[in-house]
């Protein structure tokens, strides 16, 4: 029986060049819109029995991937950072050369496939990101209001929420000209704060019905936002063979450089989900500074703090938190304060 034809297609997620290869040769190259319908039409015309449809990670990769998979297309999303290292060897950086280069990588199998998150996970992650952005805007507005008023000798006392708004209005009493500038900002601050609270309610509702979130929130320092973000990033615990791999996946492990007699460890790689990495660092900070109850993570982190300093200790605790939280999702066990993180991670 003759072997099936093997096609590789590269799609750049914009209206740019695509390439189709078979048997080590390019059989078609041209431009096509980057929506799934156009790609499927292209495949039916130039590669009806495609074996690999390859495209890089990007803003539209989730939409394109799931649409192609639903249509029965063997779509593969590859890591753009790894592909770039191979494409940089080309003499000229052009869309056509990139298309041919990635199609060639697919043909020889020299690529790393990326796990594409599901729509439900991305919807929850979008909710977290939207809430975080609104909270950031509220903080920026309040700081801007404080700065503007301080210029005119009006120092807003410490206070959050309604206290801040009342203090601003009280200080503006008798300053009509300045009030016309500050009050619109204060109104915008109230509106942003209200919308952020609405998104927070939605996030809490999701956490209440999620067994995984309730499980993760048994870890000291881990709240609704951190638990939800971690759950949606991991999705299925079986995606990682070892819990210790999660720390490296989130960029919380040190980078190593070795060449001849030179061999040293540098800073953490900072690759992966930057938002989740920041949340885990905040959770580790809470464990080391605010947690009143003694626990394995706190005791281990405080000892490490004496030797390495606070920041390095917090990063180490954040890494171990990621390992422990993955192990908890895998085993379904609550966090044991007495046992500590090493035992929880297995």
Least confident of 24-28, 82-86, 200-204: 82-86
| pLDDT value at 236 more than 70 | yes
Band of pLDDT at residue 12, cut at 50, 70 and 90: very low
Q: What is the pLDDT of residues 155-199, one digit of tens each?
A: 999 988 889 999 999 999 989 999 999 999 999 999 999 999 999
Average pLDDT, the chain: 88
- C-alpha 68/C-alpha 253 separation (Å) is 35
Q: What is the pLDDT of residues 62-100, one digit of tens each?
A: 999 999 999 999 999 998 888 887 788 888 888 888 888
Classified by CATH at the fold level, domain 8-108 comes out as Nucleotidyltransferase; domain 5 (3.30.420)
Mean pLDDT in residue range 223-248:
94
State the pLDDT at residue 5.
47
> Model's pTM, two decimal places?
0.83
All residues at 6 or more sequence positions from 79 whose CB lies less than 8 Å from its CB, including other chains: 56, 57, 111, 112, 114
State the pLDDT at residue 175.
92
How many percent of the chain have pLDDT more than 70? 92
State the pLDDT at residue 76.
92
Question: In the 3-class helix/strand/coil scheme, how is the chain assigned residue by residue?
Answer: CCCCCCCEEEECCCCEEEEEEECCEEEEEEEECCCHHHHHHHHHHHCCCCCEEEEECCCCHHHHHHHHHHCCCCEEEECHHHHHHHHCCCCCCCHHHHHHHHHHHHHHCCCCECCCCCHHHHHHHHHHHHHHHHHHHHHHHHHHHHHHHHHCCCCCCCCCCHHHHHHHHHHHCCCHHHHHHHHHHHHHHHHHHHHHHHHHHHHHHHHHHCHHHHHHCCCCCCCHHHHHHHHHHHCCHHHCCCCCHHHHHCCCCEEEEEECCEEEEEEECCCCCHHHHHHHHHHHHHHHHCCCCCCHHHHHHHHHHHHHCHHHHHHHHHHHHHHHHHHHHHHCCCCCCCCCHHHHHC
| pLDDT value at 251 more than 90 | yes
| pLDDT value at 11 more than 80 | no
Give the residue from 336, 300, 218 showing the smallest Cα distance to 344: 336
Mean pLDDT in residue range 309-325:
94
- C-alpha 21/C-alpha 10 separation (Å) is 9
Q: What is the pLDDT of residues 116-143, one digit of tens each?
A: 999 999 999 999 999 999 999 999 999 9
């Amino acid at each position: 029986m003759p072997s099936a034809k093997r096609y590789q297609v590269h799609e750049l997620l914009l209206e740019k060049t695509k390439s189709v290869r078979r048997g080590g040769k390019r059989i078609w190259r041209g431009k096509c819109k980057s929506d799934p319908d156009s790609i499927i039409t292209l495949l039916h015309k130039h590669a009806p029995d495609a074996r690999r449809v390859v495209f890089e990670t990007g803003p539209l990769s989730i939409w394109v991937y799931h649409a192609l998979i639903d249509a029965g297309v063997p779509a593969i999303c590859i890591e753009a950072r790894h592909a770039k290292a191979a494409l940089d060897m080309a003499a000229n950086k052009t869309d056509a050369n990139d298309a041919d280069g990635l199609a060639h990588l697919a043909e020889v199998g020299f690529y790393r496939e990326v796990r594409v998150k599901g729509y439900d996970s991305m919807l929850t992650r979008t909710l977290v990101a939207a809430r975080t952005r609104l909270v950031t805007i509220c903080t920026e507005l309040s700081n801007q209001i404080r700065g503007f008023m301080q210029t005119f000798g009006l120092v807003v006392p410490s206070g959050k929420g309604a206290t801040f708004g009342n203090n601003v209005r009280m200080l503006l009493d008798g300053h009509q000209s300045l009030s016309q500038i500050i009050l619109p900002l204060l109104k915008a601050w109230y509106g942003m704060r209200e919308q952020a609270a609405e998104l927070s309610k939605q996030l809490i509702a999701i956490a209440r019905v999620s067994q995984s979130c309730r499980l993760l929130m048994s870890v000291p320092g881990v709240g609704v936002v951190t638990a939800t973000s971690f759950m949606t990033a991991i999705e299925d615990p079986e995606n990682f063979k070892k819990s210790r791999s999660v720390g490296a996946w989130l960029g919380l492990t040190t980078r190593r450089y070795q060449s001849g007699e030179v061999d040293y460890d540098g800073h953490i790689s900072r690759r992966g989900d930057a938002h989740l990495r920041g949340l885990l660092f905040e959770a580790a900070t809470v464990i080391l500074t605010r947690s009143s109850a003694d626990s394995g993570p706190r005791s281990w982190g405080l000892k490490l703090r004496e030797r390495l300093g606070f920041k390095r200790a917090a990063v180490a605790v954040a890494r171990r938190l990621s390992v422990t939280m993955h192990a908890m999702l895998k085993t379904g066990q609550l966090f044991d304060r007495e046992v500590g993180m090493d035992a929880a991670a297995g």
